[in-house]
Structure 1
Amino acid sequence: MKRILVPVDYSENAQNALAYAFEIARLAGAELMLLHVFFPSISPSAAHNITDVMEDMEEGKSRELLEFADQVRKILTIESEAPGRFDAVPVKVVAKLGGAYEKILETIERYDTDLVVMGMQGGEAVSQALLGSTTISVIQKSRVPVLAVPKGVDFNQFATIVFAIDLRKLNATTNLRFLSDVVQIFKANLQVLHVYRNETQQNTFDTTPPLQHLVDQFEHIPYTVNFDVQENVAAAIQQFIRAKKADLLVLIPQKHTILDRLLDKSITGKITARPLVPLLALPADILLNQGNAQEPLVTHAPL
Structure 2
Amino acid sequence: MTIVACTDFSEIAENSVNYAGIIAKITGSKLILYHSYTLPLHVSNTILPVTSFEKLINNTYHKLEKRAQSLSKLHDIEVVAECSFSGFEDQLAFLIKKYRATLLVMGMARKSLEQDLLGNTTSSVIKNIKIPVFAVPGGVEFNEVKKILFACDTPLLVPPSILKRIKKTAQNLGAEVEILSIEEELNELEANTTPNESFNNTDTYLEGINYYYKNVRSNTVIETIKKEIQNIQADILIMMPRQYGFWEALVHRSKTRVMASGLSIPLLSLPV
Find out whether 1:26 has 2:28 as its counterpart.
no
Greater Cα shift, 153-162 or 65-74:
65-74
1:240-269: per-residue Cα shift (whole Å, max 9, x none)?
Answer: 110000000000011235776675653224
Residue 37 of structure 1 corresponds to which residue in structure 2? Answer: 36
SS in structure 1 at match of 2:36: strand
Residue 182 of structure 1 corresponds to which residue in structure 2? Answer: 169
Percent identity of the aligned residues? 27
The structure-2 alpha-carbon separation of the partners of 1:261 and 1:244, relative to structure 1 and needing over 3 Å to count, comes to farther
Find out whether 1:109 has 2:97 as its counterpart.
yes
Alpha-carbon distance between aligned partners in 2 of 1:214 and 1:99, rounded to the nearest angstrom? 39
The structure-2 alpha-carbon separation of the partners of 1:262 and 1:119, relative to structure 1 and needing over 3 Å to count, comes to farther
For residue 174 of structure 1, report the CA deviation from its aligned partner: 4.3
Residue 236 of structure 2 corresponds to which residue in structure 1? Answer: 248
Find out whether 1:67 has 2:66 as its counterpart.
yes
SS in structure 2 at match of 1:152: coil
Residue 199 of structure 2 corresponds to which residue in structure 1? Answer: 211
For residue 274 of structure 1, report the CA deviation from its aligned partner: 3.2
Alpha-carbon distance between aligned partners in 2 of 1:234 and 1:47, rounded to the nearest angstrom? 51
The structure-2 alpha-carbon separation of the partners of 1:38 and 1:47, relative to structure 1 and needing over 3 Å to count, comes to closer
For residue 134 of structure 1, report the CA deviation from its aligned partner: 1.4
Gaps (5+ residues) in structure 1? 78-85, 287-303
For residue 111 of structure 1, report the CA deviation from its aligned partner: 1.3
Matches within 5 A, 1:135-146: 135-146=122-133
Find out whether 1:276 has 2:252 as its counterpart.
no
Alpha-carbon distance between aligned partners in 2 of 1:181 and 1:274, rounded to the nearest angstrom? 27
Residue 149 of structure 2 corresponds to which residue in structure 1? Answer: 162
SS in structure 2 at match of 1:274: coil
In the alignment, is the contact (CA less than 8 A) between 2:146 and 2:174 conserved in 1? yes
In the alignment, is the contact (CA less than 8 A) between 1:172 and 1:213 conserved in 2? no
The structure-2 alpha-carbon separation of the partners of 1:257 and 1:130, relative to structure 1 and needing over 3 Å to count, comes to farther
Residue 8 of structure 2 corresponds to which residue in structure 1? Answer: 9
For residue 213 of structure 1, report the CA deviation from its aligned partner: 1.4
For residue 106 of structure 1, report the CA deviation from its aligned partner: 2.1
Q: Which of 165, 186, 191 matches 2:178?
A: 191
For residue 14 of structure 1, report the CA deviation from its aligned partner: 1.2
Alpha-carbon distance between aligned partners in 1 of 2:167 and 2:58, rounded to the nearest angstrom? 38
Residue 122 of structure 1 corresponds to which residue in structure 2? Answer: 110
Alpha-carbon distance between aligned partners in 1 of 2:158 and 2:230, rounded to the nearest angstrom? 29
For residue 109 of structure 1, report the CA deviation from its aligned partner: 1.5
The structure-2 alpha-carbon separation of the partners of 1:160 and 1:39, relative to structure 1 and needing over 3 Å to count, comes to same
Alpha-carbon distance between aligned partners in 2 of 1:205 and 1:158, rounded to the nearest angstrom? 36
Instruction: Give the aligned CA root-mean-square deviation in angstroms.
Output: 3.0
Residue 221 of structure 1 corresponds to which residue in structure 2? Answer: 209
For residue 129 of structure 1, report the CA deviation from its aligned partner: 5.5
1:266-296: per-residue Cα shift (whole Å, max 9, x none)?
Answer: 322442343121100001xx2xxxxxxxxxx
One-letter amino acid of the counterpart of residue 35, structure 2:
H
One-letter amino acid of the counterpart of residue 181, structure 2:
H
One-letter amino acid of the counterpart of residue 141, structure 2:
D
1:109-153: per-residue Cα shift (whole Å, max 9, x none)?
Answer: 2211010010011313x6225444111111112221000011222
Matches within 5 A, 1:231-246: 231-246=219-234
In the alignment, is the contact (CA less than 8 A) between 2:239 and 2:267 conserved in 1? yes
SS in structure 2 at match of 1:123: coil
For residue 221 of structure 1, report the CA deviation from its aligned partner: 1.4
TM-score (normalizing by structure 1): 0.77
Q: Which of 121, 125, 135 matches 1:134?
A: 121
SS in structure 2 at match of 1:176: helix
For residue 103 of structure 1, report the CA deviation from its aligned partner: 1.8
In the alignment, is the contact (CA less than 8 A) between 1:13 and 1:120 conserved in 2? yes
Aligned residues: 267
In the alignment, is the contact (CA less than 8 A) between 1:161 and 1:248 conserved in 2? yes
Q: Which of 92, 100, 104 matches 2:80?
A: 92
For residue 68 of structure 1, report the CA deviation from its aligned partner: 1.9
Alpha-carbon distance between aligned partners in 1 of 2:244 and 2:217, rounded to the nearest angstrom? 23
